[in-house]
Amino acid sequence: MTEQTSATDLSIPPYGEDTVSERMQSILDTGTALFAEKGYDATSMRDIASAAGVSKALLYHHFTSKEDIYARIAFSATQNLNQYVWDRIPADGTAAEKLRAFMVAAAQFFTHHRSAWVAASNAFWSDPDRHRMEQRLARRRAFEMMLRDIVRAGVESGEFGDVDPAMTGRLVLSGINWMHRWHDPEKTLTPEEIVNQYADILLGGLMAKAG
């Protein structure tokens, strides 16, 4: 029953192979909320400490630096995205079905990790840790490639018109990535409903050219 909570669920697993104590997790959760709300620079270690109800010194007992805290959040936010989305793309579907499934899955993941995602994307470029940075870039590239492959297959099979897979992928991801700038989680429309409407528009466009 619990044997399959591994790669495809929505929980945030520990950073690397460490286990995180309750205290650490509560600090991380507090930091996630603050980073998402105010941004990396505008969030001080004192802010995190007082919001978490602990002393600032304790942060440095559990983490090595502010960057460390942020990096764990950003790392977790994107860690399972690729696998999660990949698992939700029907292997035997049409290109249109796959594209829509990709968008919906990405939106679902986004919904569940909203704060961490916003925090991560707000400060995406300021990670001084080369290795971690490259890991994240590699994951992002793989994510984009998954999308382009779907579009390319559709173009080659004639299901889509003769569009550039890279450019189409960028347009799709623009819609998904920009969503957090205007979407209000309190409002009626869920991210899934939004990307489904996006998919309606986009898929119509792609198929119009195929005749």
Residues that bind its own copies (CB under 8 A): 39, 41-42, 126, 161, 163-164, 167-168, 170-171, 173-175, 177-179, 181-182, 194, 197-198, 200-209
Distances in whole angstroms, Cα of residue 97 to Cα of each of 67, 90, 92, 204 = 40, 8, 9, 12
Binding mask 64-83 for DNA (x = CB under 7 A): xxxx----------------
The pair of three-digit structure tokens given for residue 170, joined into one six-digit string:
């960028």
Q: How many helices (H) and strands (E) does the chain have?
A: 10, 0
Does 123 bind DNA (CB under 7 A)? Our answer is no
Identity of the residue, 43 or 108, whose beta carbon is nearer to DNA in the bound complex: 43
What is the closest distance, in whole angstroms, from the C-beta atom of residue 197 to DNA in the complex?
Answer: 39
Distances in Å between the alpha carbon of 192 and those of 77, 96, 107, 188?
18, 16, 6, 11
**Which CB, 10 or 208, lies closer to its own copies?**
208
CB nearer its own copies, residue 15 or residue 78: 78
Smallest distance from its own copies to CB 29, Å? 23
Closest Cα partner for 100 from 161, 141, 170, 151? 151
Binding-site partner at residue 83 among its own copies, DNA, none, CB < 5 to 8 Å by type: none
Q: Are 35 and 127 in contact (CB under 8 A)?
A: no
| Chosen from its own copies, DNA, none, partner binding at 39 (C-beta under 5 to 8 Å by type) | its own copies
Helix (H) or strand (E) holding 101: helix 95-112
Number of CB atoms found within 10 A of residue 34's CB: 20
Does residue 45 belong to the site contacting DNA (CB under 7 A)?
A: yes
Residue type, 137: L
Does residue number 126 form part of the binding site for DNA (CB under 7 A)? no
Q: Which residues bind DNA (CB under 7 A)?
A: 21, 23, 43-47, 54-58, 60-62, 64-67
